[in-house]
Amino acid sequence: MAFTTTMLSWSIIDFGRNMGGGELGNAVRAVKWGTDYLLKATAHDGVVYVQVGDPLSDHNCWERPEDMDTLRTAYKIDANHPGSDVAGETAAALAAASIVFRSRDPSYSRLLLNRAIKAPGAYSNSLRYAVCPFYCDVNGYQDELLWGAAWLHKASRRREYREYIVRNEVVLRAGDTINEFGWDNKHAGINVLLSKVQYSPGGLIFKAGGSNMQHVTSLSFLLLAYSNYLSHANRAVPCGADSSASPALLKRLARRQVDYILGDNPLGMSYMVGYGPRYPQRIHHRGSSLPSLDAHPTHIACKAGSRYFLSPNPNPNLLVGAVVGGPNSSDAFPDSRPFFQESEPTTYINAPLVGLLAYFSAHP
């Protein structure tokens, strides 16, 4: 949620002027929905509530949100159970959102920034039994701390945050992980740079492991944001001694990924639910795949939902706008709920896409 909020805020900061038709207001309200929750999670000094629910029992059931009866255990980090990774991301989200609300709601903006400063060791080490294997931060916590410091510096202009980044710049030299960016790895976001990227035969950025589309939307967002920064500075990216990548080239690379997501790909399939003539029908999403309360008023128990999970029928409830994990490295897409890496939608896939769609709709 924190990464989603950070990226939604960044989308508004850089591309809000391109959000027409009331969509800017919708985006701002979506950010506030996230920050209101994060403010509650950080209401006590020195404590951040970071998770609700046991992922093992939750993943063992296929239930509607209205029917959930698994344990709602709350987990927190504090001085005795440090969590630098999640604290850094939470600080980034609150700081980025404070910029969004700086002119819209100054008092709320100040509250967000003050809470961000207080928010910042690793969460998945302290609470490993409760978060792994689903939410482990396999890339460590240093990138989140730098990510948080970068947003705190941008929001507050305090020298101490810039100095922290400079002192720890060795983390920026992240080796092979530089081509990965998502909720668990910020190295590319810190550098705002793209290198050593692999592509599917159809031209989609591909990073093995997990939900690939999170890397596609996030890296494409970085390409677009960086191209704009370069344009304003009248610069290009050096690529060796004799060549460079222009801002226009970076924009074309980002646009190509967006076009692929929306249907310009070997399957002719949009990976955004509800967009275009062909899109995923059997997404890995409980609320979408189980019958609504209107259609099925009685309780659906933990294991009773399995028949809906395994059903070959399309989901009865259309989750319009959701972007799924996407095709595999060969551009094949199974459109089947059990294939969660390909068929599961997430907020952190969608959040970077907001800025991309806003920009390219204004610059077709």
**CA–CA distance, 207 with 198 (Å, rounded to integer):** 7
181 in helix, strand or coil?
coil
- Tokens representing 339 are 């294939």
Cβ count within 10 A of residue 26: 12
**CA–CA distance, 279 with 323 (Å, rounded to integer):** 10
- Tokens representing 124 are 């998945």
Place of tokens 């993943």: 59
CB 261 within 8 A of CB 271: yes
What are the beta bridge partners of residue 76?
49
- Tokens representing 313 are 């029928």
- Does 242 qualify as catalytic in the annotation? no
**CA–CA distance, 239 with 245 (Å, rounded to integer):** 7
- Tokens representing 211 are 């939900």
282 in helix, strand or coil?
coil
Cβ count within 10 A of residue 42: 21
- Does 144 qualify as catalytic in the annotation? no
Q: CB neighbours of 65 closer than 8 A, spacing ≥ 6?
A: 286, 287
CB 351 within 8 A of CB 7: yes
Residue among 153, 187, 284, 285 flagged as catalytic: 284
- Does 169 qualify as catalytic in the annotation? no
182 in helix, strand or coil?
strand
236 in helix, strand or coil?
coil
Residue among 89, 144, 331, 344 flagged as catalytic: 344
Residue among 67, 137, 331, 335 flagged as catalytic: 335
**Which contiguous run of DSSP H or E holds residue 26?**
helix 23-41
**CA–CA distance, 5 with 33 (Å, rounded to integer):** 9
**CA–CA distance, 264 with 275 (Å, rounded to integer):** 12
In total, the chain counts a number of residues equal to: 364
CB 53 within 8 A of CB 71: yes
Nearest to 160 by CA among 172, 170, 149: 149
The residues assigned a catalytic role are 284, 335, 344
